[in-house]
Amino acid sequence: MSPLDASAATAPRARVDPTRFEHHGVARVDDYFWLRERGSPEVTGYLEQENRYTEVVMAPTAELQDTLFEEIKGRIKQTDMSVPYRQGDYTYFTRYEDGREYPIHCRRPLNVTDDDAEAEQILVDVNVVAEGQDFCQVAGRVVSPDQRRMAFATDLEGRRIYTVRIKDLDSGELLEDVLENVTPNVTWAADNQTLFYTRQDPTTLRWHQIYRHRLGTPQEEDVLVYQEDDDTFNCEVGKSRSKRFLLIASSQTVSTEYRYLDAETPDGEFRVFLPRERDHEYHLDHFQGRFYIRTNREARNFKLMETAEEAPSEERWSELVAHRDDVLLGAFELFDGYLVLQERREGLVHLHVRPWAGEGAHDIAFDEPVFDSYIGVNREPATRTLRFGYESLTTPSSTYDYDMASRRRTLLKREEVLGDFDPERYQAERLFATAADGERVPISLVARKGAPRDGSAPLLLYGYGAYGISMDPAFNSARLSLLDRGFVYAIAHIRGGQELGRRWYDAGRLGQKQSTFSDFIACAEFLVRERRSDVDRLFAMGGSAGGLLMGAVLNQRPDLFAGAVAQVPFVDVVTTMLDDTIPLTTGEYDEWGNPNERQAFEEMLAYSPYDNVTAQDYPALLVLAGLHDSQVQYWEPAKWVARLRALKTDDRPLLLKTNMDAGHGGVSGRYRRYREVALQYAFLLAQAGLA
């Protein structure tokens, strides 16, 4: 198959209607600002024109897309079930049925076997909830302490605005209680009658209020128990490991504050655990009469502290796990006899087990050079068994039970990949590129064994680099469709993530954001130099903040890539961060900067993809958007494509596909989303000349 022909149809041209902005003495003209008129016939019409154009240009790949979809779908076990986990007197699990898009969430009493179908109780069948809907997301499933009721949240649009219902698990009936226009963040008090939930600002969608709801009363009578007035903070409510305390966490990029309340007295007043301070982040939990605090106070990579329940003041804290310059302390789990730590070392997540008494602290050993491990669902602390997950670029997602005393692990389930999948056919590697400032940037890479190393292999380089989110080397069965056709797949672990500790994140945000883009470029140059691919065979992919990465990199080094896929890309950085009426803006000043301040304005203007589009050749580009996206508004990718189309000097494909029924995460359903994956893969394969 030859590369796609962009002249197969006339590309849409968005109407030019200049809007002038001036900040800090700098004038900017936005020709396509009008595209943010959500719901207007002209905007809808333009998006639909772009969709039709994409369909026409991609038409030669229609058969390939169908093949890819069936291939990807064919690897998925149609009737499947998750590993049950214990909570109280039941085991809870999720299962799928052949041909159905959505999960069925269930439970069984402890004293019955897994093959006793009659003992299964369906908590919520999302297929039923989704009937007649173009989109459906069920989240926030929380069972009451007595396990007789369950609250769950439903979003039928994709904008992450939910409705919460409560189901009586004895009768199977829904209660009359309906909580509308809320988040999926819901927690029960100990009395089984009181729910705490979070509401968002109706305009910005910032989680800013915690309400108390008494079963049987209308939502209008719910009590506001906490409001977060600082518009750079979000808040949420949860419960401690001990179930003793309700916890309200207020957080933003560099600061945290917790409040706590005895779960037995839901009508009481929440107390502040430790007042917020700039640049102090902490995570609070409670277990066996003590508070545990993961904190970055004089500990850039965090340390773990503890204190008696009756003495929570900071001067009474004692150190449990010390800070280490080369280890990032992540999540922790508290058991009666053990403490389990999730630690990131040299870019990989390790699980460390420590008994509360005696010797025997150890890591769980893993053999592969590139992997991802994580603490699983462990609802019951009175056990010496740890549930954990493991996967790699070649090993499917695996669930283990680990005896922390004997150090024996039991594989409970490994994602079954149907067809002729054999992990021995693939090889994963850990490589390092050298950035412009001398930093060594990790790269995780996977390919079929025997893949050529003469520059002839097409290679897809993925990146993100923001919010301290690390892109771990996880397994993806859909990706096999690329690998089996000769593609190499690589992840650039660039600054802005947290792969190499907190310093890695700090070095890729605010005024140092250019490091993120420079790192990605350095990884691409390294892979070309090492003959893993070549500039006419090298492709890039990223989504959301990773879409920002795509936009910046393509502006700065368009010559380095043959093509790119930008998924829901955050590309109009300056305009968005100047608009505090849309979601996410104020809460992200410490990530991107506050452009109301001149220095931050100039820094982000220097890389903002939309503002830096110029008259030059660009690689082939497929851009994906969601009409109901509440995180990256649809108009950002739409405006970006319009400006690129007006200015770029090449004739390579520039395609925009807006999903008119979905939000930031794309379409719902386990099969429908693979249609989008098939579209992206077909674009890459066609541009690489493969079929």
Give the residue among 460, 646, 641 at the shortest CA–CA distance from 539: 460
Computed over every residue of the chain, the mean pLDDT equals: 95
Rounded CA-CA distance 187/173 in Å is 20
Average pLDDT over residues 608-634: 94
What are the domain boundaries of the chain? Answer: 6-74+422-687
Predicted pLDDT of residue 662: 62
How many whole angstroms separate alpha carbon 42 and alpha carbon 61?
29
601-627 mean pLDDT: 97
To the nearest 10 degrees (0 to 180), the angle between helices 514-529 and 545-556 is 70
The set of residues, in sequence order, having a beta carbon less than 8 Å from that of 607 and lying 6+ positions away, is 513, 514, 517, 552, 573
Look-up of token digits 């140092």: 512
Please state the rounded mean pLDDT for residues 620-646.
93
Q: What is the pLDDT of residue 47?
A: 97
Q: Which of 108-117, 315-324, 456-465 has the lowest mean pLDDT?
A: 108-117
CATH code for the structural domain at 6-74+422-687: 3.40.50.1820
Determine the Cα–Cα distance for residues 215 and 207; give it in Å rounded to an integer: 23
Stretch among 14-18, 112-116, 222-226, 462-466 having the lowest mean pLDDT: 112-116
User: What local confidence, expressed as pLDDT, does residue 414 receive?
Assistant: 96
pLDDT at position 202 over 80: yes
Angle at 119 between CA 114 and CA 122, to 5 degrees: 100
The contacts of residue 181 (CB under 8 Å, 6+ apart) are: 161, 163, 199, 200, 202
The answer, yes or no, to whether residue 1 has pLDDT greater than 60, is no
**Is residue 664 pLDDT above 90, yes or no?**
no
Provide the 8-state DSSP code for 34. Answer: G
- What's the average model confidence in pLDDT over 306-332? 95
DSSP state at residue 687? H
Residue 359 neighbours by CB distance under 10 Å: 7
Residues classed as catalytic: 544, 629, 664
Cross-strand partners of 432: 442
Res. 691: pLDDT tops 70: no
Q: Which of the pair, 664 or 219, is modelled with greater confidence?
A: 219
> If you write DSSP's letter for every residue of 634-650 in order, what string do you get?
THHHHHHHHHHHHH--S
The predicted pLDDT at position 628 comes to 84
Percentage, residues of the chain above pLDDT 90: 89
Per-residue pLDDT, 666 = 58
Q: At what angle do helices 672-687 and 62-74 cross, to 10 degrees?
A: 130
Q: What is the pTM of this model?
A: 0.93
**pLDDT per residue as tens digits for the range 584-613:** 788 899 999 999 999 999 999 999 999 999
